[in-house]
Structure 1
Amino acid sequence: MSTEQSTGLNDNDKSITGFVMISHAVVHTYELSIPILMVIWLADFGLSTAILGTAVAVGYGLYGIGALPAGVLVDKFGSRELVLVCLAGMGGSFLLLSAAQGIVTITIAICVWGIAASVYHPAGLSLISTGVEQRGTGFAYHGMAGNFGIAFGPLLTAVLLLFFDWRYVTALLVVPAVIAILYAMSASFDETAAVQTKTDGGEPTDDESMSLSKFVTDSRALFTLGFSIAIVVVMMNGLFYRGTLTFLPDVLSDFVPNVADQLQLFDPDSPMAEEFNPASYLYAGLLMIGMGGQYVGGKLTDRIRTETGLAVIFGSLAVVAVLFVPAAQAGVVPLLIISALLGFLLFSLQPMYQATIAEYSPPGDRGLSYGYTYLGVFGVGATGAAIAGYLLSVVTVGMTFVALAVFPATGAVLAILLSRTGDRRA
């Protein structure tokens, strides 16, 4: 059986999918290496979780806020060039981060990263929705690649920290962006192969596509009741995603036994023993399991109503959040099980809400729709880091997770409500 027959992807689909997979992996390699570095910054700079959480939330917030203007630019210029700009900007931000001297310079560097990274999701997801005929499969592979980066970033960072100072590590992390740029420049595809681009009255002129009046008009047309509810649903995902993952390596350190000492992996007085943090590897493993969640979630978007999938997954996440700390306190095996469930469920949401946005928005405004989506997911969602940081500084870890469970519980209710609006547009 040929690859095309087995995957359901034609040549153009495969070219686009490869392009967005490597780019998506790099975006999340950077995004999730930051929490590993935060553990070091908390100690090296004597920062509280509230201060560092707020500072990082600013940079993560720009990751979402920039998605809206990026979505407008995608609808005008297409995806390829914007993704290349995104990759170059992210690499440069980590080079800047390597020279950080304190909380101010750390914040500036992460803000630069957030602005550059904000371009990716409107560009990449719009490209899949308009260029890939097997959209659900495209979302699935795209999500899996993102989860590879999500897991690879923390793992690579943790391993490099065994051998190098964190400043050298952040400089070395520029390399993935360089590799992705070289690959991206060689890709060839038709960005609109899966849609009829003229169905809504033809392409707008340059002046029309960039005008404020057109932006307002398109936004008003986009925000039907269904799309509005869908955006709030993805906000709940973003708040829980950022709230749980930002400080999770530090939280896990309280529950994971020091296997390095127990198994005598390193000389107790060696630098490697000092830098080795088992919690970082559990964190990376949890994120790697998310690849399975991405794949399953993506495949299910072609088989069930996405609103139903969102309701079930959100409801399950609320239960996992409430049980997380009691399970972690019960021993290593329950900790591993609850961590695996968290990773699988958290990332199975992503292809579900991405496909849902496509169902509630017209193809001609897909870039704008994903701009609003990631304004919600990563812009509004970034406050989850500040919320979690504050909660960890005033209440117990267990109470923090119970409080964060409100977000997926609300998401489940809204997903049920969304299924009853009946105004799908795709």
Structure 2
Amino acid sequence: MDRNDRAVTAFAMLGHATFHTYELVIPIFVVIWLEEFSTTAALLGTVVGASYALVGIGALPSGLLADRISSKRLVLACLLGMAGSFALVSVAPTLEVLTIGLLLWGTAASLYHPAGLALLSRGAKARGTAFAYHGAAGNVGVATGPLLAAVLLAFVGWRTVAALLLVPVLVAAAVGARLEFDETAGSAARDADATATERVQPRSLAAFIASSRRLFTVGFALVFATGILYGVYYRATFTFLPDILADLPLFDPVALVGRSFEPSQYVYSGLLLVGGVGQYVGGKLVDRGRLETVLLGGYAALAAVAIAFVPSANAGLAPLLVVAGLLGFLTFMIAPINQEAISAYTPADARGLSFGYSYTAIFGVGAVGSSLAGLVLTRSTPAMLFAVVAACAAFAALIGAVLRRRSGRRSRSGVTADD
């Protein structure tokens, strides 16, 4: 990685870690908000779910913006928007004001992934490595955000904790604003687009439809489908995984120094930390291997580990920890592989739009996975749930096999010969 790659990657890492810090801190507050605002789990769950849904719904318009204006400006706007919305959350006197704050957070957060990933895709020459570091930074936020909030809540009230969370995001924005880099250096180096700075900017509905048709080649449509399957796999697996682990006799509560500890929570946190290693490995793999082969192998492994999860739980603690670790590793390893696939199957001047569509699929359509998991667990068993998610991964592996057969038709510009 050269100097520009490092600056681009560092900037995106700041945004990614901050996004996931807030994303995973919100559930920590839910139990407190239930009492604070005298509301029901159903109503508060709807409010929180709507804020998360906006992250996916807003991804497409955010992707359009990322092809029209500076990605750096969009990411900074995202950081400041998340800070402002949490400032409102910290002083919310009523559930209605809290709702407004959370919805504003979801709207601001929706800017990040299309803008940040389009920036990495166009700005970094060592794109896979950049995606790897970016993904690992996200997992730092995933793992440390909830832990930091939980520790602080032992000493101060939730409003103070919410206000203190403004500090890291404002620091990230200040540091990021000082970083300087060329947002199109990577595309220029790959000859991805001779006029990479002259981006296609759909300014009307007709132009937007035309740009979308141009983007949705057969290759990108297949990559888009893997995004949906990945989103369903991720949400279906991880939404209820803490509850599944807590129900295992292996992880019964432990009394220590007069307090009860839940081993399942630490195992779950460990999965997220291992996922950071997976993100790094996934990015390195697509820099060193054939993308379509890595995509096929990654999803095939993800299907196998899902099938092995329940038998490993019945086999004892050591087998379960190994399989659980692989689940975290492989699930997050797929993320930079998907991101490289999106980049590889789209032209440089439509990367923002492509990531907008893709993260609408992952965060928006993929959110169905949470409802699917709840339905399966209500009517059946964890074994059935893992069979369902294994099927999703197997189908994605099949798509990877199709892409591998067709990969000879993909040019260096990311466009396939398949109108």
TM-score for both structures, normalised by structure 2: 0.87
Displacement, 1:61?
2.2
Compare relative contact order (CA 8 Å, sep 6+) and give the higher one, 1 or 2: 1
Aligned to 1:173: 165
Q: Deviations over 1:136-160 (max 9, x none)?
A: 2111111111111122223223333
Displacement, 1:337?
1.6
Amino acid at match of 1:122: P
Amino acid at match of 1:228: A
1:212 equivalent to 2:205? Answer: yes
Q: Which residue among 128, 135, 147 is the counterpart of 1:143?
A: 135
Contact 2:202 2:211 survives alignment (8 Å): no
Change in 2 beyond 3 A, CA 1:55/1:416: farther
Displacement, 1:418?
2.1
Q: Which residue among 232, 251, 259 is the counterpart of 1:257?
A: 251
Q: Deviations over 1:314-351 (max 9, x none)?
A: 12222222332332344332332222111100011011
**C-alpha separation in 1, matches of 2:337 and 2:361:** 15
Change in 2 beyond 3 A, CA 1:342/1:154: farther
Q: Which residue among 314, 317, 323 is the counterpart of 1:332?
A: 317
Displacement, 1:100?
6.5
Map 1:16-55 onto structure 2 (within 5 A).
16-37=8-29
Displacement, 1:371?
0.8
Contact 1:55 1:103 survives alignment (8 Å): no
Aligned to 1:59: 51
Aligned to 1:115: 107
1:91 equivalent to 2:76? Answer: no
**C-alpha separation in 1, matches of 2:108 and 2:137:** 19
Amino acid at match of 1:424: R
Q: Which residue among 255, 267, 277 is the counterpart of 2:258?
A: 267
1:226 equivalent to 2:222? Answer: no
Aligned to 1:354: 339
1:245 equivalent to 2:238? Answer: yes
Contact 2:56 2:361 survives alignment (8 Å): yes
TM-score for both structures, normalised by structure 1: 0.86
Displacement, 1:68?
0.8
**C-alpha separation in 2, matches of 1:322 and 1:110:** 36
Q: Which moved more, 1:137-146 or 1:85-94?
A: 85-94
Contact 2:226 2:399 survives alignment (8 Å): yes
1:76 equivalent to 2:68? Answer: yes
**Unpaired segments ≥5 residues, structure 2:** 415-419
Contact 2:132 2:279 survives alignment (8 Å): yes
Displacement, 1:277?
3.8
Amino acid at match of 1:394: R
Displacement, 1:402?
2.6
Q: Which residue among 199, 203, 206 is the counterpart of 2:194?
A: 199
Contact 1:238 1:381 survives alignment (8 Å): yes
Contact 2:199 2:350 survives alignment (8 Å): no
Displacement, 1:193?
1.6
**C-alpha separation in 2, matches of 1:55 and 1:106:** 9
> What's the RMSD between the two structures over aligned residues?
2.8
Contact 1:322 1:402 survives alignment (8 Å): yes
Change in 2 beyond 3 A, CA 1:156/1:221: same
Change in 2 beyond 3 A, CA 1:201/1:173: closer
Q: Which residue among 293, 296, 306 is the counterpart of 1:308?
A: 293
SS in 2 for 1:163: coil
Contact 1:306 1:353 survives alignment (8 Å): no
Change in 2 beyond 3 A, CA 1:257/1:128: same
Change in 2 beyond 3 A, CA 1:258/1:126: same
Change in 2 beyond 3 A, CA 1:251/1:368: same
Displacement, 1:122?
1.1
**Count of residue pairs brought into register by the alignment:** 406
Aligned to 2:304: 319
**C-alpha separation in 2, matches of 1:358 and 1:397:** 35
**C-alpha separation in 2, matches of 1:157 and 1:70:** 29
**Unpaired segments ≥5 residues, structure 1:** 1-8
Amino acid at match of 1:158: A
Contact 2:253 2:262 survives alignment (8 Å): no
**C-alpha separation in 2, matches of 1:325 and 1:42:** 33
Contact 1:72 1:210 survives alignment (8 Å): no
Displacement, 1:209?
4.4
**C-alpha separation in 2, matches of 1:93 and 1:251:** 33
Q: Deviations over 1:156-176 (max 9, x none)?
A: 233334434545433433332
**C-alpha separation in 2, matches of 1:154 and 1:201:** 40
Aligned to 1:394: 379
Amino acid at match of 1:401: F
Aligned to 1:4: none
**C-alpha separation in 1, matches of 2:346 and 2:173:** 30
Change in 2 beyond 3 A, CA 1:258/1:380: same
**C-alpha separation in 1, matches of 2:318 and 2:138:** 27
Change in 2 beyond 3 A, CA 1:201/1:409: closer
